[in-house]
Amino acid sequence: MYHPVIKEVEELFEGRKDIINWEYAKKLAIRIAISGETDEMPSLDMQKQFEELVRASEILTSNFTNLQFFQFASTKVINRQDWIEANIKGFKALMEPLTQKVVEEYKKSKATDSISKLLNKISPFIITLEIGLVLGYMAKNVLGQYDLCLPYGERGKIYFVAPNLLKLEKMLKIPSKDFRFWIALHEVTHALEFNSNNWIVDYYKNLLKEFIESATLNLESAAERIQKLDVKNINEVINKFQSEDILFSLVTPGQREILYRIQALMTVLEGYSNFVMDEIGSKMISSFKTLKIKFENRRKIINPVEKIFRKIIGIELKLKQYEMGQKFANYIHKKMNMIGLNLLYENEKNIPTIDEIKNPDKWINRVLNLK
């Protein structure tokens, strides 16, 4: 009997597989997500509670922002395995064209140096392993998610992962209803952002399509960059591989531009959602200040090994981007109120660049000149 990982490696080196093994990625993710912990199905009472919290949040966020839903999202309270299965389905549909294209480039590549040859041979397995590891880790930590359901044409869904919510509520000793309402506000705001104007969904879809169509992987460049890394310890390795410099050096200038636009869009969406959930939460939730402090301090509880893993897969970098997005939203609202902040969603030209997010006055000047 072979261990699944060993068998997978053997099959890849024998050339019997040339695309991502999604079934293996899913099994690995589930194994990681439920290892040593319970993954019980949520109660009907919890499902009903979140449905009520989402409905209330839809009214509150729409009234506060003056944005209107054209379609409401469905609400599902799920366990970790269900979250993985829902996301693996979306990942597969979105990534399959890209992975197929990359695989074809692997086959055509004429790598000459040893590192390029090694990357060529083991990359499908590495990608499979990475997807499984990241999804497994995320499944143990994600609290809520708004799923656009882009690949399969369904209406959007809001997921709440019951085991993670229950675990965090117990660990932080926070009022469960207040905390769940706060999380619901965040995810409902995401639904509102995408539902208030159809162009945002199309813009996001087109960015993904542009990236896939332009996809290429320069193995020689990647190998050369790896060989030139001058690092003295594991922390330097982690810091280099989590940096944008390494990531963006492996793509073409055209892809780099698309990635910057995707990054800017996601930073704005998260920042706006954090702003709205805090503005409404501070007025509607009696325990808001205590809840927010405990929630933000939870990262201090993470053990050193997990901190390293979070850096490697980019979670810490993303959290900094979202903080930057909220600072941007706070600043724009203070200077221009909600009408000014909502200019973000008037058209795609109003989506700020990363530089404008860091320097919001530049965005204000540009957008007002467009009016």
Predicted confidence (pLDDT) per residue in 92-127, tens digit: 877 777 666 666 666 666 555 555 555 556 666 777
**Cα distances (angstroms) measured from residue 193 to each of 190, 202, 269, 272, 290:** 5, 13, 7, 9, 28
CA distance 249 to 218: 10
pLDDT at site 21: 83
Q: Is the pLDDT of residue 219 over 50?
A: no
Q: How confident is the model at residue 292 (pLDDT cuts 50, 70, 90)?
A: very high
Name the most confidently modeled range: 17-21, 113-117, 123-127, 269-273: 269-273
When the pLDDT of each residue in the chain is averaged and rounded to a whole number, the result is 81
Domains: count for the chain: 1
CA 66 to the chain's CA centroid = 26
Give the residue-averaged pLDDT of 121-143: 83
> What percentage of the chain reaches a pLDDT higher than 70?
71
CA distance 131 to 126: 9
Give the residue-averaged pLDDT of 78-84: 96
CA distance 184 to 105: 43
**Cα distances (angstroms) measured from residue 317 to each of 183, 313, 314, 327, 353:** 21, 9, 5, 16, 17
Q: How confident is the model at residue 198 (pLDDT cuts 50, 70, 90)?
A: confident
The H-or-E segment that residue 334 falls in is helix 315-341
Q: How confident is the model at residue 59 (pLDDT cuts 50, 70, 90)?
A: very high
User: ∠296-291-143 over CA atoms, to 5°?
Assistant: 65
CA distance 349 to 9: 46
Instruction: Indicate if the alpha-carbon torsion angle 165, 74, 49, 31 is positive or negative.
Output: negative
Look-up of token digits 């997500």: 33
Q: Is the pLDDT of residue 8 over 60?
A: no
Higher pLDDT, 242 or 307: 307
Q: Which domain holds residue 270?
A: 4-370
> What percentage of the chain reaches a pLDDT higher than 90?
50
Give the residue-averaged pLDDT of 62-79: 95
Q: Is the pLDDT of residue 244 over 90?
A: no
pLDDT at site 9: 52
CA distance 252 to 97: 18
CA distance 284 to 176: 15
| β-bridge partners, 77 | 160
The pTM of the full predicted model, rounded to 2 decimals, is 0.84
| Strand arrangement of the beta sheet that strand 157-161 belongs to | 74-78, 157-161, 144-147
Write out pLDDT tens, residues 157-171. 999 999 999 999 999
